[in-house]
Amino acid sequence: MLDSTLKNAKILIVDDQEPNVILLKDFLKLQGFTNILITTDPFMAVGLFESSDPDLILLDLIMPGISGHEVLAQLLQIIPKEEYLPIMVLSADITSSAKQRALARGARDFITKPFDFVEVFFRINNLLETRYYYQQLELKKMILEEKVEMVKKMIS
């Protein structure tokens, strides 16, 4: 059941290089993911995020016009603080400082380019699974509160 939930997760890919986007999309489809949104225009990222409500964002760091770091900052401003919405950065820059910078800004994880698809699979699954547990926990808390209210009412 968890597996099918994960496969239905909505994944937004933001990368200015079309071959990268297509490669990722094809791989994810092959793995059974059905809900993939893409854009090669970094300026579209925030609008797409708002209209599509994704479960996971894959974000390239080096893009023309607006960098992934800036997009990351913009996204984190509009993502509700109480939500676990993972952003994973894609980067050819594997220096520690580049990683640290992205993580300090709120990215949950990173994948280095060129892609190692086993790694891509691991990271995406792990982040989506964490999101799943987080959402289930929120849901259970809500149900629990309702039940407690109901019991209280009945007793009184």
Partner 1 sequence: MSILKLNKMLDSHLKNAKILIVDDNQLNIDLLVEYLQMQGFDSIQTTTDPLLTVSLFKSFEPDLILLDLMMPQLSGYQILEQLKPLIPNDVYWPVLVLTADISPTAKQQALASGARDFLAKPFDFIEVFLRIRNLLETRYLYQQLEKKNQILEEKVAMLIKIMSGWNK
Site string for partner 1, 23-62 (x = CB under 8 A): ----------------------------------------
When asked if residue 93 is in the footprint of partner 1 (CB under 8 A), the reply is no
Q: Left, alpha or beta for 65 (phi > 0: left; psi -120 to 50: alpha)?
A: left
**What is the number of residues in the chain?**
156
Amino acid in position 137: L
d(CA 94, CA 34): 30
Spatial CB neighbours of 60, under 8 Å, sequence gap ≥ 6: 14, 15, 16, 17, 20, 42, 68, 89, 90, 91
When asked if residue 122 is in the footprint of partner 1 (CB under 8 A), the reply is yes
Rounded to a whole number of angstroms, the minimum distance from the CB of residue 30 to partner 1 is 14
d(CA 12, CA 55): 8
When asked if residue 108 is in the footprint of partner 1 (CB under 8 A), the reply is yes
When asked if residue 117 is in the footprint of partner 1 (CB under 8 A), the reply is yes
If DSSP states are collapsed to H, E and C, what string results for 102-120? HHHCCCCEEEECCCCHHHH
Q: Which is nearer to partner 1, 43 or 148 (CB)?
A: 148
Nearest to 113 by CA among 132, 135, 89, 136: 89
Binding test (CB under 8 A) with partner 1, winner from 8, 29, 51, 148: 148
Binding test (CB under 8 A) with partner 1, winner from 55, 72, 99, 111: 99
When asked if residue 100 is in the footprint of partner 1 (CB under 8 A), the reply is yes
When asked if residue 137 is in the footprint of partner 1 (CB under 8 A), the reply is yes
**Residues making contact with partner 1 (CB under 8 A):** 81-84, 96, 99-100, 103, 108-110, 116-119, 121-123, 126-127, 129-130, 133-134, 136-138, 140-141, 143-144, 147-148, 150-151, 154-155
